[in-house]
Structure 1
Amino acid sequence: MAVETPRARASARITLTLAALAMLGPFTINTVFPAFSRIGEEFGASEAELQQLISAYLGAFAVLSVFHGPLSDALGRKRVMIGGLVIYLAAMFGAILAGGLGVLIALRILQGASAGAATIVSRVVIRDLFEGAQAQRLMARVMMIFALAPVLAPVLGGWLLLLGD
């Protein structure tokens, strides 16, 4: 039986934290899929209108992701990551209470714009903390965990639907 060292525990914590931050984007995209029919019924929206929930999110995520790295260089990694997470959480709770499809789409744009902070800055942190083979190993571990997000997110979305509308 191997003894777990403090360094190994810290490495596992860093890996899981960075992977969780990187997973935020795919989780946000895929968790909503099981609720599409209910959202459509609640807001009287067509399939084409519901697709805007994904398109708006992805568009904002793509455009703002270009700025998260330079912003974290100028303002600091922690400030950008926490700021992005706070905005993301505000948009998430707003989406829960959204009274119409237009408001929901606007909040999805805000989620997309802010989710990139966690995804992009988590990768920048790897580059800051590690070099060479060590950085490659950590990035590979983060990406392996990250790959679980599109698989787990719809399951989580379905479970959340069981809790209520």
Structure 2
Amino acid sequence: MKLAYKIGLLAGATLLMLLPARGRAEQVQRFDDYQVHYNALSSDMLPAEVAAQYKFSRSSKQGLVNIAVQKLDGTQTPVAVAASIRGTAANLAGQRSELVLREIREADAIYYLGEFPVRGSDTLNFDLTITPAGSARSYALKFSKNYITD
């Protein structure tokens, strides 16, 4: 039973990386020898078990951002790396929320999850600074996500 539980958790984590953000799939941006996978979605898209495991509330008024950083070393397989990530989510009215990202490590995967409020139907602009572990350089990641709440 314990093995089945671990497999379920790993499947849930993998699901977080693959979930579409209401019709818009995960995105990837390359910076030098790194690639950053990112997406943002409404937390009500999370399966109940995954939300409970990571202690996220499921609500159309709560968003979730997911970031993973990988080092490209010339081989076919990128390697997950830890990173320092800070940033904000701001709506078009200028209301800004500081993102607090939690590091999640499972098997060979490292990713960062953070919650933010969604106030009505709006476009949120994400502005992140990512510094991979061992790198002296930081990278700016900016993207937008449209939300429609009930």
Relative contact order higher in (CA < 8 Å, ≥ 6 apart):
1
Q: Same fold (TM over 0.5)?
A: no
TM-score, normalised via structure 2 length? 0.26
TM-score, normalised via structure 1 length? 0.24
Bigger-Rg structure (1/2)? 1
